[in-house]
Amino acid sequence: MKRQLYAALTLTALIMCTVPTVNLYQVFTTQSDVKWWKAKVLYNMDLFHGLISKLIYPMGISIHPGKVIIGKEGWLFLGDEYADKISVKRAGVDQKETQIIESVARSMESWDQWLSSKGVTAFRIVIGPDKDSVYPEYLPEWSSHTSPRPTDVLLRHARGNIYVDPTKAVVQAKLQFAHPLYYQTDTHWNNAGAWIAFDELRKSLDKTQARLTWPQAREPLTLTTHKRAGGDLAHFLRIQESLSDNEVLLNFPDEYSLPVEHHDFNSGEMTFSGQNIGIASPASPLLVSSPQALNSKKVLWLRDSFGTAMTPLMTATFTETLHVYYLLLKPEALVALVERFQPDYVFITSVERDIRGDFFQSGPPVTHVDAAVIN
């Protein structure tokens, strides 16, 4: 017993000495300006986690199973730490989930009515399907889904044309394309997947907004691919440099190649001037101006990271697009944005796992709803 205790203490001491030594070597050889004397730097375990992950990844074992599930043929999927997405899809829609779904449907209908009272022509919510909703065949056998999925139940409760669910279109398209529509090592769709979803938005708006002009795709949809480093899921496993993925380039860049300007909406300061590019979820409201866009219209776009690949298409279609990261947005702040910006359209682009979250369960403030009814 004493020998085992001494061995454990010796191993612990070796690790406590080795980890800071390796981290200090990393700091000084890369000329990093981090505060190397801080404990969080000296005892950072990322490098060691990466080494362990490299060893166990080929066996299908995730170093962070709550964050990443290792699927078949190199496909990675998000784990249960994010909105209990795996558990909900495995267990099915229970009474609690049904109540949440009903609350979301009512809230979004209230927003639709309120936005209409403010002169907004159309309100749409574009769902970014979870990767496992599109490629369930690559999931481990133990994580198979039940039917119906929560999103299908929500769509049955929703009224009107508020929701745009491109899942069926993306699933059909994946059978026709040589390349995947999602990254294997990332949670997101690629440029081709984003285009299909954007085209579903076009189809939805065409029913009432036939005069809008849209970018036109050409066959084949994808022109070429090139290698890129592993995505966010590979990063969670600390092996993003060891895994690679494919970047898909669309075959019609001239349709969305145009000059743009970015302005911080609150300060008015110009933050970028150049060619139309993808935009990550902004930390603060970002106004993108594209005078050469196809339609002289204003869009308030509440979005998450699923909007990044869709950004060049949105920018090429509408002359003013106000990007707002919606997850931290309160109803009062949304009201203020609408009243100040006075958009023609309000779109939300959200990953599927979040469309039943707190934001979507919150309707317009009561005073504003009452005013809309009176008007």
Q: For the chain, give the mean pLDDT.
A: 88
Q: Is residue 58 in a domain? A: no
- Residue 180 domain boundaries: 85-374
Residue at token pair 């009201």: 335
- Confidence (pLDDT) at 373: 45
Mapping DSSP to helix (H, G, I), strand (E, B) and coil, where does residue 283 land?
Answer: coil
Q: Which residues contact 331 (CB under 8 A, 6 or more apart)?
A: 362, 363, 364, 365
**Tens digits of residue pLDDT in 264-273:** 999 999 999 9
**pLDDT of residue 11 exceeding 50:** no
Q: How confident is the model at residue 224 (pLDDT cuts 50, 70, 90)?
A: confident
Q: Assess whether 103 and 196 both reside in one domain.
A: yes
- Confidence (pLDDT) at 279: 97
Residue at token pair 């998000």: 78
Please, are residues 118 and 341 in contact by the beta-carbon 8 Å criterion?
no
Q: Is residue 211 in a domain? A: yes
Please, are residues 262 and 269 in contact by the beta-carbon 8 Å criterion?
no
- Residue 200: both structure tokens together: 């579903």
**pLDDT of residue 6 exceeding 60:** no
Long-range contacts of 18-27 (CB under 8 A, 24+ apart): 19/43, 19/44, 19/45, 19/48, 22/47, 22/48, 23/47
In the chain, % helix, strand, coil (3-state, to 5) comes to 45, 20, 35
Q: Assess whether 249 and 348 both reside in one domain.
A: yes
Q: Is residue 98 in a domain? A: yes
Query: d(Cα 295, Cα 316) in Å, to the nearest integer?
Result: 9
Q: Assess whether 177 and 284 both reside in one domain.
A: yes
Q: Assess whether 31 and 157 both reside in one domain.
A: no
Q: Assess whether 300 and 242 both reside in one domain.
A: yes
- Confidence (pLDDT) at 80: 86
Which span out of 26-35, 93-102, 107-116 was modeled with the highest average pLDDT? 107-116
Q: Is residue 53 in a domain? A: no
Q: Assess whether 365 and 301 both reside in one domain.
A: yes
For residue 93, the tally of other CB atoms under 10 A from its CB is: 20
Q: How confident is the model at residue 278 (pLDDT cuts 50, 70, 90)?
A: very high
Q: Is residue 75 in a domain? A: no
Q: Cis bond leading into 148, ω under 30°?
A: yes
Exposure of 107 in the CB half-sphere (CA atoms within 13 A): 20
- Residue 22: both structure tokens together: 């390796």
Number of domain units in the chain: 2
The average pLDDT across 181-196 equals 97
Q: Which amino acid is at 313?
A: L
The average pLDDT across 235-260 equals 92
Q: Assess whether 24 and 99 both reside in one domain.
A: no
**Tens digits of residue pLDDT in 120-165:** 999 999 999 999 999 999 999 988 888 899 999 999 999 889 999 9
- Confidence (pLDDT) at 18: 60
Q: Is residue 219 in a domain? A: yes
Q: Assess whether 12 and 114 both reside in one domain.
A: no
**Tens digits of residue pLDDT in 59-75:** 888 988 889 999 999 99
**pLDDT of residue 319 exceeding 50:** yes
Q: Assess whether 164 and 29 both reside in one domain.
A: no
Query: d(Cα 228, Cα 216) in Å, to the nearest integer?
Result: 27
DSSP-derived pairing of the beta strands 345-351 and 122-128: parallel
- Confidence (pLDDT) at 146: 83
Query: d(Cα 267, Cα 263) in Å, to the nearest integer?
Result: 8
Please give the distance of CA 293 from its chain centroid, rounded to a whole number.
25
**pLDDT of residue 306 exceeding 90:** yes
Q: Is residue 273 in a domain? A: yes
Does the pTM surpass 0.95? The reply is no
Q: Is residue 99 in a domain? A: yes
**pLDDT of residue 19 exceeding 90:** no
Q: Assess whether 132 and 7 both reside in one domain.
A: no
Mapping DSSP to helix (H, G, I), strand (E, B) and coil, where does residue 22 land?
Answer: helix
**Tens digits of residue pLDDT in 24-83:** 555 555 555 665 445 555 455 565 566 777 888 888 889 888 899 999 999 999 998 876
- DSSP secondary structure letter of residue 189: B
Q: Assess whether 117 and 29 both reside in one domain.
A: no
